[in-house]
Amino acid sequence: MTAIETIGELFAGPGARAYLGEPVTIGTHMLQAGALAEAAGADRPLVAATLLHDIGHLRKETDARHGEAGAQWLSQWFGEAVTEPVRLHVAAKRFLCAVEPGYFGLLSAESVRTLSRQGGPMTPEEAAAFAALPHAMDAVAVRRWDDQAKDPEVTPPSFPHFAELLGALVRS
């Protein structure tokens, strides 16, 4: 199976139909997030990262592990411009809670609930170290689309809409 077929199967599978405490399924959430990044004119690796940011959840990883594990799995096909924002998107929530007044208030109840398991807001030292990482600001961008992509009124494009964009990013 190709990378796109393998990922497409996850989007079509039972893992994608789980709600994980949000008003939309995880599959819908990821597709909404990818569509938001695309509509914002993000470059292709960042659209892909946003679409795939919760791939670890589709593979049944826990809240604390899903960024790291998802990035690791995706790295068999994609470079760091895709995998690093995925890996760092959980940390980006902890970062934004530390540096941006008002960000915490934007989080869904479920995101607040998982925050403590993910380590809570960063300390100022942790936030400075995070900001210095390559792709940290891409991870912050993913995080903002992630937070907006929980709208039960929005029907996102289906997975095949993104297949060509993803396919062009797969390492040959």
CB neighbours of residue 13 within 10 Å: 12
Q: What residue has token string 């809240």? A: 63
Residues making contact with Fe ion (CB under 5 A): 54, 146
Taking alpha carbons only, the member of 35, 47, 32, 58 closest to residue 85 is 47
**Cα distance between residue 82 and residue 169, in whole Å:** 9
Q: Nearer to Fe ion by C-beta: 123 or 148? A: 148
Q: Nearer to Fe ion by C-beta: 38 or 54? A: 54
Name the closest residue to Fe ion (Cβ).
146
Give min distance, CB of 5 to Fe ion, in A: 23
**Cα distance between residue 149 and residue 24, in whole Å:** 9
Give min distance, CB of 150 to Fe ion, in A: 8
Give min distance, CB of 17 to Fe ion, in A: 15
Give min distance, CB of 22 to Fe ion, in A: 8
Per-residue b/e over 19-34, b at no fewer than 16 CB within 10 Å? eeebebbbbbbbbbbb
**Cα distance between residue 140 and residue 74, in whole Å:** 19
Q: Nearer to Fe ion by C-beta: 63 or 146? A: 146
Give min distance, CB of 53 to Fe ion, in A: 5
